[in-house]
Amino acid sequence: MFKAVEKDLINTHNKKIESDLNFDYEYLEKKLRKENIDIHEIKEKIKRFQVAVPTWGVGTGGTRFARFPGIGEPNNIFEKIEDCAVINDLVGITEKVSPHFPWDNVSDFKELKEFANSYSIGFDVVNSNTFQDSADSELSFKYGSLTNANQSIRDLAIKVNLDAINAGITLESKGLTVWVGDGGNFPGQISFSNSLSRYIDSMKKIYTKLPQDWNIYLEHKPYEPAFYSTVISDWGTSYICAKELGDRALCLVDLGHHLPNTNIEMIVSRLIDLNKLGGFHFNDSKFGDDDLDAGSINPYELFLIFNELSSASQKGKLNQISYMIDQSHNVTDPIESLILSSNEIINCYAKSLLVNYDILEECQDKADPIKAMQLLKNAFNTDVSSITAMARLENLNAINPIQVYRSLNYKQQKSKIRVTNKGSSSGIV
Ligand code: LRH
Ligand code: MN
């Protein structure tokens, strides 16, 4: 660790602001002690939290209209891992990256594993891409991948997933996320029934090839790229398919994959009770699958999701959950956005640890909504930044990661050695 950002540089910055942090931390310690909350216990839990960074998130993202790459952009998986290591050296909670195949394909995955090791970066759940055609492919996923009416195209989509698993085995990953954009743009275009049974049939062929210690994560999404019907459009369909596949098939909740005003925290509670919650793609949105920075639009919703996770965890109902970020950074430096997003996520987790869930349940059973709301709002309105910063300091990471990052002039430095692609192409990556 600290190959991307020197430990001494971080230490120098921390020294200048450590006393302010101690002041804030001691003040919060006293405040929480009055509520019988042990700040140290929370800090230790914070130190064990990890969220994976998407390799496709460190390059500037775009929309169908345009993508405006910044300077010093990473152009391949090795440069992307360098950037992910910068984030982790500064925040300490993003030790793993979630790769995407074939976007991150290399000729030697062992070499990639060693390269990442040299930065103390590991590999979390891998993602398969059957929503784009590879340049040399005769067959196309234009009319679907795992659900395509053409068996050879379904077989190709299955192969893309098995190749992702093989890459992941070398990278010591323990899971595969399958998101398919399969669907139709017009009434009558696809058979709702046949496409679903073809999906389950194809996924069974992938599931049987899953290493015994792996999980497969089914990611639902209501629309885009299909704009009339999507085969795996909601959590219910995802749950039915995961149940059909087996115990190691779980549901992944991408926060942006819900229609406006959907109560996502209730979906999380349902999937926990159904023992099928497997993971998250954290981001935020105002309208559609905007892939904005987590906690940037609706941080209270992110808190309420952790509220369900922490109350279930305290009741021993929570499986091992894969926390990942899935964002598209169109107008910011992706490294800064990922630093801020990881901080928003861990702050919401920390706030959820301030809630006394036994008292909350009493309020619910006594039909006292005001007291229940106050319990949640008090926790949400508590500034926990001194706890998450103290956890970073004690892990030798940066108290103020953005300040240290900006002092590096990192992208300027990288622009001297990395190829810069001029012009604004379109597309999310
Ligand atoms: C689909 C999605 C999926 C990824 C892709 C980059 O919208 O959320 O998780 O494969 O974005
Ligand atoms: Mn996603």
| Coil, helix or strand at residue 161 | helix
Q: What is the pLDDT of residues 238-267, one digit of tens each?
A: 999 999 999 999 999 999 999 999 999 999
| DSSP state letter for 57 | G
Tell me: pLDDT of 1 over 80. no
- C-alpha 288 to ligand 1 mean position (Å): 13
- C-alpha 289 to ligand 1 mean position (Å): 9
CB atoms within 10 A of CB 413: 11
User: Which pLDDT belongs to residue 252?
Assistant: 98
Q: How far is CA 334 from the centre of its chain?
A: 14
Bridge partner list, 216 = 176, 249
Q: What is the pLDDT of residues 227-240, one digit of tens each?
A: 999 999 999 999 99
Atom 2 (ligand 1) nearest CA: 179
Residue 429's pLDDT band, with cuts at 50, 70 and 90, is low
Q: What is the pLDDT of residues 180-206, one digit of tens each?
A: 999 999 999 999 999 999 999 999 999
Residue length, the chain?
A: 429
283 within 8 A of 255, measured Cβ to Cβ = yes
- C-alpha 10 to ligand 2 mean position (Å): 32
CB atoms within 10 A of CB 264: 22
| Rounded Cα distance, 20 and 23, in Å | 5
Two tokens, residue 392:
């970073």
Atom 4 (ligand 1) nearest CA: 179
User: Which pLDDT belongs to residue 146?
Assistant: 98
Closest ligand relative to 254 C-alpha: 2
| Rounded Cα distance, 367 and 130, in Å | 48
User: Which pLDDT belongs to residue 167?
Assistant: 98
Q: What is the pLDDT of residues 4-13, one digit of tens each?
A: 999 999 999 9
DSSP string, 59-70: S--B-SS-B---
* The amino acid at 244: E
- C-alpha 347 to ligand 1 mean position (Å): 24
Question: Which residues, in sequence order, are CB contacts of 105 under 8 Å at separation 6+?
Answer: 167
**Which pTM value belongs to this model?**
0.97
Atom of ligand 1 nearest to the CA of 127: 10
User: Which pLDDT belongs to residue 428?
Assistant: 65
User: Which pLDDT belongs to residue 171?
Assistant: 98
Atom 1 (ligand 1) nearest CA: 179
270 within 8 A of 279, measured Cβ to Cβ = no
Atom of ligand 1 nearest to the CA of 100: 10
* Residue to mutate, 219, 223, 232, 323, ligand 1, most ligand atoms under 8 Å from C-beta: 219
User: Mean pLDDT of all residues in the chain?
Assistant: 97
**Segments in 208-327 forming alpha helices (H):** 235-245, 264-273, 299-314
Residue 2's pLDDT band, with cuts at 50, 70 and 90, is confident
| DSSP state letter for 231 | T
Which of 270, 265, 252, 327 has its CA nearest to residue 296? Answer: 327
* Residue to mutate, 67, 176, 281, ligand 1, most ligand atoms under 8 Å from C-beta: 281
Q: What is the pLDDT of residues 12-68, one digit of tens each?
A: 999 999 999 999 999 999 999 999 999 999 999 999 999 999 999 999 999 989 999
Atom of ligand 1 nearest to the CA of 54: 6
| Rounded Cα distance, 4 and 202, in Å | 41
Q: What residues does ligand 1 touch, defined as CB less than 6 Å away?
A: 56, 127, 179, 219, 221, 254, 281, 289, 326
- Stated as kind and residue range, the H or E segment containing 294 is none
Atom of ligand 1 nearest to the CA of 252: 9
| Rounded Cα distance, 62 and 72, in Å | 17
* Residue to mutate, 126, 127, 145, ligand 1, most ligand atoms under 8 Å from C-beta: 127
Tell me: pLDDT of 90 over 90. yes
Tell me: pLDDT of 389 over 70. yes
Question: Percentage of the chain with pLDDT > 70?
Answer: 98
Closest ligand relative to 101 C-alpha: 1
| Rounded Cα distance, 112 and 69, in Å | 25
Q: What are phi and psi of 71, to 5 degrees?
A: -80, 155
Question: Percentage of the chain with pLDDT > 90?
Answer: 95
